[in-house]
Amino acid sequence: MDATPAIRVVDLRKSFGTLEVLKGVSFDVDRGSVVSMIGASGSGKSTLLRCINFLETPSGGEVYIDGEPMGFRTDATGQRRLQPLSEINRMRRDLGMVFQQFNLWPHMTVLGNVIEAPMRVRGMNRKRAAALGEECLARVHLSEKAREYPARLSGGQQQRVAIARALAMQPKAMLFDEPTSSLDPELTDEVLAVMRELAGDGTTMIVVTHEMGFARDASDRVLFLHNGLIEEEGPPEQVFGAPRSERCRQFLSKHLQ
């Protein structure tokens, strides 16, 4: 089996003005594995995720998707050059992103949201895109809502549609940015259930989350971020069972109560 990781992040840095949010983060995500990122607010989790698909342009470091460098190329003189947007867009198609606020487009039906990018970015015809869209909606158990508008759905349903929309691009990996943080507790479970199913199907996933239960049960590896650095990483049994870092221990003791 090809051992190239689905996502490789090398010494990633990001500053906003003088504020250094990411101070050099490196990790690999193997194909078919689930990596959860935990940490306090402001630790850099979301910024890290947004740097992976270049919604934020990293200040330094590299991201590789399936071995291919994302966003930057090093030219003959060894200079790092930002790639044109078209090239970044081509690689973004391979990374499905799910946002905290769902970000469904209110003027399109559920199916319209799901098939928009397959049709207009991948160039699929409507019939094929619709078939694919129905399939993706079935995976998130919302086939019956295909013709509804997002405003008529609950938050949990909206987030599942957002997951279907990302899946419809048939990405190599899915990025989840606190997907349940703006949901009521009773709606969180239906979203987490869908995410567990995806994980079970072998979807490569990076999940930024405050759901410690999900991080512990559903991920292969857990990263604990603190102040823009990975403070602790390992399999969930280790990070949750016997964390080496004192800060991680404190964070977990607060969040596992």
Partner 1 sequence: MSNWERLVWNQRGVLLQGLAVTVEVCLIAFAVAIVGGLTLCLIRMHVRPLRPVAIVLIEFFRATPIFVQLMWVTYVWPELFGWPNSFFTAGWLALGLQSSGYLAETFRAGIEGIARGHREAGYALGMPPLLVFRRIVMPQTLLTVAPSIVNQFTVIVKSSTLISVITVQDLMFQAMKLVNVWYEPIEILTVTAALYILFVFLVSTAGKLLADRLRRRYGLAAA
Q: Kindly state the tokens that stand for 1.
A: 């089996």
Gap between the Cα atoms of 209 and 177, Å rounded: 7
Q: Which is nearer to partner 1, 21 or 175 (CB)?
A: 175
* Burial class of residue 195 (count of CB atoms within 10 Å of its CB; 0-12, 13-18, 19+): buried
Measured at the CA of 100, the angle between CA 68 and CA 248, to 5 degrees, comes to 80
Q: Which is nearer to partner 1, 89 or 253 (CB)?
A: 89
Name 220's Cβ contacts closer than 8 Å, sequence gap at least 6: 30, 33, 34, 35, 235, 236
Q: Which is nearer to partner 1, 93 or 249 (CB)?
A: 93
Smallest distance from partner 1 to CB 116, Å: 7
Smallest distance from partner 1 to CB 189, Å: 23
Smallest distance from partner 1 to CB 235, Å: 29
Largest CA distance in the chain: 56
Q: Which is nearer to partner 1, 95 or 142 (CB)?
A: 95
Gap between the Cα atoms of 240 and 243, Å rounded: 6
Q: Which is nearer to partner 1, 10 or 108 (CB)?
A: 108
Smallest distance from partner 1 to CB 122, Å: 8
Q: Which is nearer to partner 1, 167 or 252 (CB)?
A: 167
Smallest distance from partner 1 to CB 120, Å: 6
| 222 Ramachandran zone, left/alpha/beta (phi>0; psi -120 to 50) | beta
Whether the Cβ atoms of residue 187 and residue 160 lie closer than 8 Å to each other:
no
Which phi and psi (to 5°) does residue 64 adopt? -120, 130
Smallest distance from partner 1 to CB 222, Å: 24
HSE of 1, CA atoms in CB hemisphere, 13 A: 6
Q: Which is nearer to partner 1, 118 or 228 (CB)?
A: 118
The footprint of partner 1 (CB under 8 A) covers 53, 55, 85-86, 89-93, 95-97, 99, 101, 103-107, 116-117, 120-121, 149-152, 162, 165-166, 169
Smallest distance from partner 1 to CB 102, Å: 8
Helix 126-139, helix 185-200: angle, nearest 10: 110
